[in-house]
Chain A
Amino acid sequence: MSSSLPLVREKRRSKRRIEPARIPERGGGKLGYWLYFIPGAIAVGLIIFYPLVRNLRLSFFHWRGGRAEEQFAGLDNWIALFGDQEFIQSFQNIFLVIIAMVIVPTLLGLVISALLFDVVGRRFSGKLSSFLRATYYLPQILPIAVAGVMFSWILRPNESGVLNQFLSAITGNEVTVNWLGGSYGTAMASVMVLMIWIQIGYPVVIFMAALGRVEPQLYEAAELDGANWFERFRAITLPMIQPEVFVVSLTTTIAALKVFAPVFILTAGGPNKSTYVPSFYAYNEFINGTDKGYAAAIASSITIVVFVVAVIFIRVQNRVESKEA
């Protein structure tokens, strides 16, 4: 599928303005096409854009929920965000989430896909390489909630935890680390490990497909010139798969900004709200908080960040593309 770069492709067509419909007709009217668009427009308006606007509006009000009256708050909620330690902490944690969901999987993905493609695929067997790729990919299609429950079983505190028993057996001492509830360090690290485990298969699969696109003659020529594997990787492979690296970073960064389930299941934001991420904070405020207006402000701020990041990425990529062209 030519879908790997949909974000970038669409933009170009904007330059050509009014074009006829692609099905030639005597009447020539394009009006009829709007009929096909009506269900989609209504649906996306009602389910996405109406809630979007309504939530944005709510962020300028105080509202206890239920039958309570909404009280206009102006910018109160938005100003309060900047002095809210939990809010700041939740966005700081996003940097760690980006390390776990974007940076580590992308780097590991480069190494693993090169290993599977160059070494296992070429020097051993293509079947083994495909099989290993599928194995790395499996966590990607597992429900995150299910993966989270599995990890929380492994990371149970005291001597009953699988990891603790494992470490006890290795070290000979009784290990009783409270991984998820003991300290910010172990809790956040646990969440990050789960995220890496989930994410790793995505870059592996995409990069392997990209490697298949690189012409083998390039490698052979480089090999004849005496370039070693690492030199070839840097000079040929990396530039060739740069578009895929870009797509992976974009999609995973956006996923990182929206992350919810791993934190909800593993730590529920604890200990002491230290592992809050914005999405979890907003959800928690909507459910348990006393001011849904404030929750709406948190959710709106995440939405703004997501849109800004998406626009920046698309801009950068378009600039790179036009330079190449």
Chain B
Amino acid sequence: MSTMTTSASKATDPTPANKNKSRPRTPAEWVLMVLATLGALLIVFPMLLLLLNAFKSPADYANSSPLDFPEALDFTGLQTFWETQNFPRALWNSIFISTMVAVLAVILSVLNSFAIGIGRVKGRTWIVLAFLMANLIPQEMLFDPLFRLYDDLGLLSNPWSVIITFTVIQAAFGTYLLSSLLGTFPKEILEAAAVDGASRAKILRSVIVPIIRPTLSVLMVFFFIWTWNEFLLPLAFLNTSDSLTVPLLLEQLNGERQTDTTTLIAGTLISIIPTIIFFLIFQRTLTRGITAGAVK
């Protein structure tokens, strides 16, 4: 839930006032700028360490300091990781689960919030509160009953156990958010569509959804990344090596005693890469979603 608001800020880039720049920068300002940059370096430092050590041979790693550059580029760690772990499978599982959740949760959120925000069904304040609770509920509260439910349904170690669970959890947040958005949806547009004789389903599909699409795509992006990063319930539900997601695969590798350190470092680096790519691609989508102002 926390990251949702952050999307908003991507749009509002701090625009420097030009006249402010005319006076020369003071030494104090230089110091502060350097401090801010050093802080950012501190944040990426662990990842730089990974990069520095992922391409060392096991012998090189054992004999050098983690701050040294590798003697020569060596791909043993990467190769071992790739050969011993089914990373493509985990990557596919993560992509499949996160995509399904993002799409299904957005659809479910739209249907719910249509009834709540546009239809103004009775007791909607309580309904919204119930969805909020559903989103806040700690996962360990759901763990055992859901485990038994999926066990009965034969869905354990099946991606659908995680897809179903997180579709509902994310949709709870989406419903909550979209209900207030649709509660303020411009009345004139709805009236015009009704006068034209459009049915409810048609108004939802051809009028409302296109107008709130920017918000929906932002929701989808966040649902995707939140699901990608989930840990507790996937850890509980997905137990076969074929069903692991990227975080689970790495956690399992970390727990194996015989894992060679360079293999682990290489695996960690590889596990970070999809997130970085996602980050680079969707920074702009997020911005577009918000600058479009959703409904205005």
Contacts and interface: CB of A to CB of B under 8 A. Distances in A.
B115 A37 contact: yes
Interface string A172-201: 000000000000000000000000010011
B9 A206 contact: yes
B131 A44 contact: yes
Interface string B5-18: 11111101111110
B121 A37 contact: yes
A299 interface: yes
Chain B interface size, under 10 / 10 to 19 / 20 to 34 / 35 or more: 35 or more
A119 B32 contact: yes
A286 B143 contact: yes
A154 B265 CA distance: 10
A143 B228 contact: yes
B33 A124 contact: yes
A299 B283 contact: no
Instruction: Tell me what chain B mostly uses at the interface: helix, strand, loop, or mixed.
Output: helix
A208 B115 contact: no
A126 B141 contact: no
A79 B40 CA distance: 48
Given A23-B203, A202-B2, A257 B138 contact: yes
A136 B29 contact: no
B209 interface: no
A51 interface: yes
B58 interface: no
Instruction: Tell me what chain A mostly uses at the interface: helix, strand, loop, or mixed.
Output: helix
B16 A52 contact: no
B70 interface: no
A142 to B, nearest CB: 6
Contact of A143 (B10, B12, B144, B247): B247
Contacts of A238: none
B211 interface: no
Most buried by B among A44, A139, A279: A44
A22 B142 contact: no
Most buried by B among A7, A13, A36, A211: A36
Q: Which 4 pairs, one residue from A and one from B, show the smallest C-beta to C-beta distance? A: A33-B119, A209-B9, A51-B145, A145-B247
Interface of A: 1-4, 6-7, 9-11, 13-14, 18-25, 30, 32-34, 36-37, 39-40, 43-44, 47-52, 54-55, 58, 112, 115-117, 119-126, 128-130, 132, 134-146, 148-154, 160, 162, 165-166, 169, 197, 200-202, 205-206, 208-209, 211-213, 216, 244, 247-248, 251-252, 254-255, 257-258, 260-261, 264-265, 279, 282-283, 286, 292, 295-296, 298-300, 302-303, 306-307, 310
18 contacts: A3-B177, A10-B180, A37-B121, A47-B165, A123-B21, A124-B29, A126-B13, A141-B229, A143-B229, A144-B229, A144-B231, A145-B248, A150-B50, A153-B264, A169-B65, A202-B2, A282-B143, A299-B141
Interface of B: 1-10, 12-17, 20-21, 25, 29, 32-33, 35-37, 39-40, 43-44, 46-47, 49-50, 65-67, 108, 111-112, 114-122, 125, 127-134, 136-146, 149, 164-165, 167-169, 171-172, 175-177, 179-183, 185, 187, 190-191, 193-194, 200, 203-204, 215, 218, 225, 228-229, 231-232, 236, 246-248, 250-251, 253-254, 261, 264-265, 268, 271-272, 275-276, 278-279, 283, 289-290, 294
